[in-house]
Amino acid sequence: MNALMSDGSEDHGPPGRVRGRDQDRQWLLGLLMLGLGALPEAVFLGGLLAVCLLWGSSWSALGPLAVTVVWTATAVAGRGPLPGRAVRPQEEPELAALVRDVADRLDFRERLLVRVVPDVDASLCRVRVSGVRTHVLLLGLPLLRALTEAQLASVIAHELAHRRHVADRRLNLLIGARGRLGDRLDSRFRPLAPVAGPLLRASQAVLWHTETAADADAARIAGTEATAGALRRTALVHAVFEGLGDAWLAALAVEDAYPVDLYDALDAALADPHVTARAARAAAEEDLLDPYARAGHPPVALRVAALPRHTGAPYGRTPLTLRTGPDVERWCVRETVHLDEVDGGGEPTPVRLLDMTPDRLRELGGDTGPLRLRLATGLDSPAAMTAAALDTVADGSWPRLARRLEPSLRWAPAAARGPAARQVFTTAVGRTLVQALRSDGWTPASRWIDTALTAPDDGRVVDVHRMVGQALDDGDPAPLRALTATAGQKENAV
């Protein structure tokens, strides 16, 4: 094997054998989506060219043509520097040996570089290094820390299994066109949506098949148990990184500070069962917020259910320890907060999350839900605001309250409006109910999140966020009313 760890097109797995008619259909879908995705630029440049020809000289038409050439050249050639930090075999022999072993088992014989990136990512890119076609395996530091060796082997095998179809122009066209067209649907104004949605839905099954096929290869190499564990664990790590991690970074950025122990704190939070339960719900809710079928990966539950049964190679059941771990972690923190881009005004203040008090940590992870509920209801006390919100659950009018809490919901795609409204309502009411219960003697059950509380009388633990979501699902606020009764009595007594 000619694999080298040192210092493209992203692939998404084998499409399997398809008949000629299916191939023609996929080519057509890719070309249609590519053309539709380029339509805004084409309309703009066409209009500009018409203006130049009608009201200017023929020479003025060279301007739009030059812009077209520049845009095309940038799209074709512009990739920029490789992401991540290079990993070399002499620095990380255990990781190098694992990648080499997985590659050998998959008969991967091409040049391979491995780089560590700061976020929750695992992907395979193809680039040219010194004129030689090279594959680059990107591995996120959170995954390297959170996955066992067997689970990491599964992730590596999944990404390397995509290699067989990197040169498949039909699939690459489909993937690139889907990504470009999907980006057009991020804004509030979505004129392409009526046509883009059906095209994206019609092409999604092809990408989902590539992912389940790569999962099957991963299960063959690392085992079904490790592959299922990697899929579930990766979803949890991603949810925690995006939830708590992003909240910490945003709150500290306002204070001109940054967390030097970001990854240690994330590891500690992942060990909290209340955090992982909340993260699992967040990951499941995220699957519902895909009205245009943009997701290139099936939901985790479907991927796990589709795995074939394999024992796999006897890889380790604990995470690999990076010998250069401290240096890699420092680099990833600096990259995450963009410290190398700081101007001459001085770097932000380094702080340690693990040295903060639990109240301070929960404050960093908070939001403006109670304030928005106060503005939406016109009430002042947390108990009164919660009671008013629960009335809307009972009569079914809670979506209207959610739109008052978050006016931008009015412009969300129709298929995503319900799940998004549920998230807004659950977060705002849950955090407001927490304030009411804390005033009644309930105490936090978690160092990291404020919606898990311990009752003062019998010591039972209540997940307020889950209970609000369950009340919306059942249309029954009675269990929540029982919690708020004592809080309201105490507020009235005060």
Which DSSP state fits 241? I
Q: Of 92, 121, 153, 102, whose CA–CA distance to 316 is shortest?
A: 153
Close Cβ partners of 154 (under 8 Å, ≥ 6 residues apart): 218, 219, 221, 222, 223, 226, 227, 229, 230, 312
pLDDT at 24 over 60: yes
Tokens of 65: 């043509």
pLDDT at 52 over 80: no
DSSP H or E segment with residue 460: none
pLDDT tens sequence across 166-180? 557 788 788 888 888
Q: Which residue is listed with tokens 């088992």?
A: 105
- The pLDDT tens digits for 180-221 are 888 888 877 788 888 888 988 988 888 898 899 999 999 999
First to last CA, the chain: 75
Which pLDDT score, from 0 to 100, does residue 23 have?
77
pLDDT tens for each residue of 345-377: 678 999 999 999 999 999 887 777 888 999 999
Give the model's pLDDT for residue 166: 53
User: What is the band of 58 on the pLDDT scale with cuts at 50, 70, 90?
Assistant: low
Q: Quote the pTM value.
A: 0.86
314 burial (CB, 10 Å; 0-12 / 13-18 / 19+) is: exposed
What is the pLDDT, as a whole number, of residue 9? 34
If residue 159 lies in a helix (H) or strand (E), which one and from where to where? helix 149-161
pLDDT, mean of residues 259-277: 96
Between 43 and 283, the higher pLDDT residue = 283
